[in-house]
Amino acid sequence: MTPHGTQGATVGVIGLGYVGLPLAVEAGKGGFNVIGFDVTEVVTAKVNEGQSHTQDVPSEEVAALREAGVLEATTEMSRLAECDVILICVPTPLSKTRDPDVSYILAASEAVAGGLRKGQLIILESTTYPGTTREVMLPALEATGLSIGEDFNLCFSPERVDPGNETWNTKNTPKVVGGITAACTEAGAAFYGKFLDTIVPVSSAEAAEMTKILENTFRAVNIGLANETALIAERLGVDIWEVIEAAATKPFGFMKFTPGPGLGGHCIPVDPHYLSWKMRTLNYKTRFIELASEINSEMPYFVVGKIREALNRRRKGVNGSKVLALGVAYKRDVEDVRESPALDVIRLLEADGATVSYHDPFVAELQEEGTHLSSVELTDAAMAEADAVVILTDHSDFDYQRVVDASTVLVDARHVAPRKVGQAGSSWIVKG
């Protein structure tokens, strides 16, 4: 490819998912030549055809960068040697025992090391435990004989992607960056400053890694508090959402978090456990994290209990009932089902003998642990024929009044369905 980028440098992005592709597009729009790397040929082919495969990146932007000659995608990792800056945006999942799986980071590090040359800047964006950049990546890169801070620079800069957020995106969300050395931090901050709005340098890679973990642990713990308070309120016969709205009128000292069917997504249910694992190696128990995880993981059981209670009022059991789930994505107006609590609710209902169908305008097909379902059309007849309808994801384009009118039994795990003034009973059961 003939370079057309005004910055005169080539940026390589390893991993073209929900983090990597938006970053590649912003770097391209900022004047860099960009090479996207991915192990999946379908992904690289779509990018080269000018198409986006992620919700937050319009295909028009990819097509424009392709036409301008500043973006291409490849599966050939040997081309990393062409890049002046390399951004690593690979998955960092947890194992079944909640241990961090850094195999993708190791593979990316080895691929970078294979073509590492003087002057390159390497930045890890994948969320992980404090110490990963220094303890896992640095040895692999220094094994080439090149020296950190002199021959090459290495930083950590946490991704802060919020899928479906129309206000905060890759460009305007403040970018934290911390390097192995002060020179690394300076190089990383200078690079991001060329195409992102706000840069927040910190003193080390570990500080940057810990920043990301704190952000999502804060949310996980506070959602856990909201969920436990909801369980308490249920036992006291108090409407938890009324309490939360009243508390939110306080102009200081309170931040609103709401209960729901559980935690979902790529970050909040997972990231705090990176820190838990790290601290276990240092003989320290992260009590808040473990407790919040325990409470949040109980919420799908609570929601199924509400469905059971609502059916019982109609002298029906879960076994043999038809349940229609509205929404299976982990949050409003996204197509992502990773760690979605809706999947847990569906599995629990099926284990109890229910026949479950779902409607989600963003998720046409659902395949989890051997179960394959397709989104059904949301008709009045479909809702009326269901023994119970349960709202699991509060998508914006659902007509909730219509859902209330058409349903015989309705459980609302997101508190979005209209209620009658002074309506008695559980704040989770709208009709039943």
> Which strand (E) or helix (H) includes residue 13?
strand 10-14
Tokens representing 330 are 């982990």
**What does the DSSP assignment read for 344-381?**
HHHHHHHHTT-EEEEE-TT-SEEEETTEEEEPPP--HH
316: left (phi over 0), alpha (psi -120 to 50) or beta: beta
Read off the amino acid at residue 323. V
Q: Which of 83, 89, 155, 267 is catalytic?
A: 267
Pairing of strands 153-156, 175-179: antiparallel
Q: What is the DSSP string of 322-354?
A: EEEEE--SSSTT----TT-HHHHHHHHHHHTT-
Residue 267 falls in the annotated catalytic set: yes
Cα separation of 25 and 65, whole Å?
Answer: 8
d(CA 277, CA 287) in angstroms, rounded, equals: 12
Q: Which residues are catalytic?
A: 267
